[in-house]
Amino acid sequence: MSKVEIQEHSCDICVVGGGLAGCMAAVRAAQLSDDVILVDKSNPERSGCAGTGLDHIWGYFPEVQSREGVSLEQMVEDHIQNVAQGLVNKAVLHYIAATSYDRILDLERFGAKIRFDDSTLPGRLRLQYQMHACRNTLHFEGRDIKRILTGAVRKSGTRILDRVMAADLLTHDGEIAGVVGYGTRDGKIHRIRAKAVIMSTGRANRLYKPHPGLTFAIRMPPALTGDGKAAMFRAGVELINMEFLSIPGRWSSRNLIRGGGLPTGSYQPPGVGVNALGEVIRRRNHDVGGKSVYGTAKTFATGKSFQGELEAGRGPIYADMSWGSGEDQRYMLWAIENEGLGPGFLHIMKEYGLEFRKHKIELWPIEPEHSAAAAGGPIVDETCQTTLPGLYAAGDEAGGIPGSVAPGAFTMGYLAAESAAKRAAGTGAVADGKGEEELVAFCNEILNRSGGNPWEDAQATIHNHMSDYNIRFRSQTMARRGLECLDYLENTMRLAAANPHELTHCLEMRNLIECGKIILRSTIERKESRGKIFQRKDFPEQDDANWFCFLGQKLESGQVRFRKHGP
Amino acid sequence: MPPVIDKKLCNTCGICYSICPQDVFFFDKAQKQVPAVAYPQECWYCGACVVDCPKGAVSLTLPLPLHIVPSPALYGPPGPEEGKALELAADFSRSVERDRPEPGERKAGKGSGGEKASGQDTDGANATTSAHEGENES
């Protein structure tokens, strides 16, 4: 009988997930503590949502916004009302808005280029309108932002533990004591004891059948499988907003591009959305200014929508990026080159003879996403602490801050690091926590199984169940059936793995099933519909009297408990 | 299947193996051999290996379901009814000086609403070329 080897580590602060949030957290934590470990499932150089770039970050730029007569408070209120529909952690949102620019200046110090001589604004910043009614989103050279950040992490003295997938939390006397993970290449279990832990593993991205039909052809990183959220739930941490879901996730072309160039996420001058007749349906991505009463924004709405055009028989929809001057085209290509997936997309266009001047790019509504608009994850206080003392969450990991996106990652990472450092400084010895037993048993069972179900079969089954029971016909009865099916899968599957790479995928199945069940349970519990992110067939109306709240879900002595929290 | 490594260009440094977020490569440092693409179906097409390869030896190929079937664009300035709105939308998408066309390039954008035909003239070809240079520059 083979047994998985366990390797021990110890530190003051452990950051789990080396994306934008985790890297910023590690840098700040290492300024305040001598003993920091950053764990990443792959390599922080190119991991996470911004692995191959990030071309825009929103924030409050005082020298620009105040000149335009927009105060920080107005911008925050705009976000609360128009981005988050009122349901948001206001303290953390305010912190994000107030400190995003400080973190951007950090990025500049680390080596990112954020100033441009052709800018018409103070500070030589290239700012443009994104989701707020003021010019508050920086366009910058972020293609290598993860390499730059990883360099800063290395310089900070943080130890990087790469190719380790977080699986469960270690706890001691009801407080955090570390994290336990699986080495995706070395096949060892890594037991990392810590005085404080920051989770920043992001979203669960592989729950629904991808639009292009291939498991890994999704818009956001397929390596992100809700590992942190699943681990926290198993450890009794309270999660909120897990029922919220963007349907469709976005519009994309075979999920090969994320936005940052197409009208599905375009802030580029020549990018417009057209129907099959060549009529302009979207003049730019965001119809800014439609709802707001402040700022200098205009509305660019046409009164038509992509979905409406499909329904009216004028599909398909295309991104037509052929217009504008050569200068416009160059600006657009520059931005795409710097946005995540953009370098890959431009490379593919070249390889396959596609040119924006000559070809429009077909767009389709893609599979649902538990998106930035949904903001599902652990409820956090104003210090980013979760309900488990000593455990913090940052970026897409944290629940309750819709639309926080990149600035949310940078600022919450920074804030969580400060909170974690305080906690670590006030904690004596590193505790010897428990929590690895389930992981050890799971790994040993698979290692000792000859023949069994490949992880791909479990993945396809999860795709089937989540797509059948949690997209078009969401209701109590459908969600109950979905739960039955996921339970059946969990109890019936006998996963097998030939190597650590495959065993990693098996562990991902464990987490996706966990996340799916949390989502379906909260779907049953929230008895209303709410905006675009929560539609139930059996409760089609919004019910603010009972449900204008975060719905919390947690495990208490093996029982699932729900709790409502005011925003 | 993606990615593909040109064996003639590869210097066996292993960077692609080191950075791939999907861990699709197999590489044995001691052997000093060209990395193998062990899990082609797990590629995310993010382009990290293409960007980071110091020898330009990696390219991405698409499986058939991911091909983008070409469709002709409507190249040229938009019609009068849309021109002004699009121009304004473009202005909202940037905060840079916009009156600095390259030599020999048409000054598109300004007053484009009334100049529908001009986008199809010979200057258009120059603009296309310039756009490609822009890609190479970035």
Residue A199, domain CATH: 3.50.50.60
Q: What is the pLDDT of residue A292?
A: 57
The predicted pLDDT at position B130 comes to 29
Shared domain for A356 and A467, answered yes or no, is: no
**Interface mutation vs chain B, best among A348, A364, A502, most B CBs within 10 Å:** A348
Would residue B56 count as lying in a domain?
yes
Go through chain B and tell me how many residues it has.
138
Inter-CA distances, A309 with A126, A274, B92, Å: 33, 9, 25
In a domain, residue B81? The reply is yes
Q: Which of B41, B61, B137 sits opposite A216 (nearest CB)?
A: B41
Structural domain includes residue B20: yes
Mean pLDDT score, A187-202: 98
Q: Which residues contact A303 (CB under 8 A, 6 or more apart)?
A: none
Q: Is residue B30 part of a domain?
A: yes
Whether residues A476 and A349 fall in one domain = no
Mean pLDDT estimate for chain A: 94
Q: What is the pLDDT of residue B125?
A: 32
* pLDDT number for residue A264: 55
List of residues 6+ apart from B110 with CB closer than 8 A: B87, B99
What pairs with residue A282 in β-bridges? A273
Judged by DSSP in three states, B83 sits in: helix
* Residue bearing the bigger pLDDT, A297 or A339: A339
- Whether A303 and A422 map to the same domain: the answer is no
Q: Where residue B115 falls among pLDDT bands split at 50, 70, 90?
A: very low
What integer pLDDT is reported at residue A301 of this predicted model? 74
Q: How many domains does chain A have?
A: 2
The full length of chain A comes to 567
Calpha distance A463→A476 (Å, rounded): 19
**Amino acid present at A382:** E
CA dihedral A324, A326, A329, A331 (to 10 degrees): -110
Arithmetic mean of pLDDT, A502-525: 98
CB atoms within 10 A of CB A267: 25
Residue B45 confidence (pLDDT) above 50: yes
List, as ranges, residues 116-145 from A with C-beta within 8 Å of B.
Answer: 116, 118-121, 125-129, 135, 139, 143-144
Which structural domain range is residue A182 located in?
1-54+142-242+368-567
Q: Does residue B97 share a domain with residue B50?
A: no
CATH of the domain at B48: 3.30.70.20
pLDDT, residue B94, reads 81
Tokens (6 digits) for A259? 């936005």
pLDDT in tens, A237-287: 999 999 999 999 888 999 998 865 566 555 667 778 899 998 888 877 665
On whether residue A88 sits in a domain, the answer given is no
DSSP A367-436: --B--TTT--EEB--TT-B-SSTTEEE-GGGSBS-TT-HHHHHHHHHHHHHHHHHHHHHT--SPP--B--
Q: B79 and B54 share a domain?
A: no
The pLDDT mean for chain B works out to 75
Q: Is residue B138 part of a domain?
A: no
Structural domain boundaries, residue B104:
74-116
> Is there a single domain that holds both residue B9 and residue B59?
yes
* CB A402, CB A374: distance < 8 Å: yes
CB within 8 Å: B134 and A355: no
Q: For a pLDDT cut of 70, what percent of chain A falls above it?
A: 96
B28 and B54 both lie in a single domain: yes
Instruction: Tell me, yes or no, whether A93 lies in a domain.
Output: no
Whether the complex's predicted ipTM surpasses the cut of 0.85: yes
Residue A148 in domain: yes
On whether residue A493 sits in a domain, the answer given is: yes
Q: Is residue A204 part of a domain?
A: yes
**Is residue A230 over pLDDT 50?**
yes
- The whole-number average pLDDT for the span A173-184 is 98
pLDDT for A511 beyond 90: yes
pLDDT at A185 exceeding the cut of 60: yes
pLDDT of residue A263: 62
* Pair A178, A311 in one domain: no
> Which residue from A59, A111, A147, A143 is spatially nearest to A334, judged by alpha carbons?
A143
Flag whether B52 is in a domain.
yes
Confidence class for position A289, pLDDT limits 50, 70, 90: very low
Between positions 330 and 389 of A, the ones with CB within 8 A of B are 330-331, 333-334, 337-338, 340-348, 350-362
Q: Quote helix, strand, coil % in chain A, to nearest 5.
A: 35, 20, 45
A407 with A533, same domain: the answer is yes
Instruction: Tell me the per-residue pLDDT of A357-390, one tens digit each, with 9 for 90 and over.
Output: 999 999 999 999 999 999 999 999 999 999 999 9
- Whether residue A412 sits in one domain with residue A487: yes
Mean pLDDT of A410-423: 98
Q: Which residue of B has its CA nearest to A343?
A: B47
Query: d(Cα A385, Cα A400) in Å, to the nearest integer?
Result: 13
Please give the residue of chain B at the shortest CA–CA distance from A44: B19
Beta strands in chain B (DSSP E): 4-5, 25-26, 36-37, 58-59
Backbone angles phi, psi at A555, to 5 degrees: -95, 130
Total domain count for chain B? 2
Of the candidate ranges A19-28, A193-202, A264-273, the one whose mean pLDDT is the lowest: A264-273
B56 and B87 in one domain? no
Predicted local confidence at residue A559, as pLDDT? 98
Q: Are residues A485 and A506 in the same domain?
A: yes
Q: Answer for the pair A407, A96: CB distance below 8 angstroms, yes or no.
A: yes
8 Å CB contact of A216 and B93: no
Residue of A nearest to B107 (CA): A325
Query: In terms of domains, do B78 and B52 share one?
Result: no
Same domain, B16 and B57: yes
CA distance A14 to A164: 13
Domain end position, chosen among A365, A392, A425: A365
Low-confidence winner among A264-273, A475-484, B38-47 (lowest mean pLDDT): A264-273
Chain A contact set for B47 (CB, 8 A)? 52, 341-347
Weakest mean pLDDT among A31-35, A328-332, A336-340:
A328-332
User: Which of B43, B46, B101 is nearest residue A341 as measured by Cβ atoms?
Assistant: B46
Check pLDDT > 90 for residue A409: yes
- Tell me which of A317, A345, A365 is where a domain ends: A365
Q: Who among A274, A325, A341 is closest to B107 (CB)?
A: A325
- Examine residue A218 and state whether it is found in any structural domain, yes or no: yes
Which residue is closest to A329 within chain B, CA to CA? B131
| Per-residue confidence (pLDDT) for residue A293, from 0 to 100 | 63
Which of A345, A365, A385 terminates a domain? The answer is A365
Q: Is residue A60 part of a domain?
A: no
**Cα(A394)–Cα(A410) distance, integer angstroms:** 8
Is B60 in the same domain as B80? Answer: no
pLDDT value for A497: 97
pLDDT band at A113 (very low <50, low <70, confident <90, very high): very high
In this structure, is residue A62 part of a structural domain?
no
Q: What letter does residue A133 receive in the DSSP assignment? A: S
Closest by Cα among A226, A252, A510 to A377: A226
Q: Is A275 found in the same domain as A194?
A: no
- Chain A closest-CA separation from residue B120 CA (Å): 11
Which residue in chain B is spatially nearest to A289 when comparing CA positions?
B92
B69, pLDDT greater than 80: yes
Q: Are A298 and B88 an interchain contact pair (Cβ–Cβ within 8 Å)?
A: yes
Region of A483 (left: φ > 0; alpha: ψ -120 to 50; beta: rest) is: alpha
- Whether residues A403 and A550 share a domain: the answer is yes
| pLDDT score recorded for residue B118 | 33
Contact A127 B47 (CB under 8 A): no
Write the pLDDT tens digit of every residue in A125-135. Answer: 999 888 888 88
Task: State the best of A20, A300, A323, A455 to mutate against chain B, taking most chain B CBs within 10 Å.
Answer: A323
- Which chain B residues are closer than 8 Å to A119 by Cβ? 95-97
For the segment A388-403, what is each residue's pLDDT rounded down to a tens digit?
999 999 999 999 999 9
Higher pLDDT, residue B74 or A372: A372
Q: Which residues contact A389 (CB under 8 A, 6 or more apart)?
A: A174, A175, A176, A423
Q: Taking CA A235 as the corner, what is the angle to CA A229 and CA A236, rounded to the nearest 5 degrees?
A: 90
Contacts with A337 from chain B: Cβ below 8 Å = 135, 138
Is the pLDDT reported for residue A351 higher than 50?
yes
Helix, coil or strand: residue A527: coil
If asked whether residues A268 and A360 sit together in one domain, one would say: yes
Contact map slice: A 50-109 vs B, CB within 8 A: 51-52
Residues 543-562 of A with CB under 8 A from B: none
The residues, ordered by sequence, that sit 6+ positions from A432 with a Cβ below 8 Å of its Cβ are A172, A177, A193
Based on the fold, state whether residues A265 and A413 are members of the same structural domain.
no
Q: Which pLDDT belongs to residue A73?
A: 96
What integer is the mean pLDDT of A154-173? 98
Q: Return d(Cα A96, Cα A464) in angstroms, integer.
A: 37
* Helix A405-425 / helix A20-32 crossing angle, nearest 10 deg: 30
Q: Are residues A151 and A5 in the same domain?
A: yes
- Rounded CA-CA distance B42/B40 in Å is 5
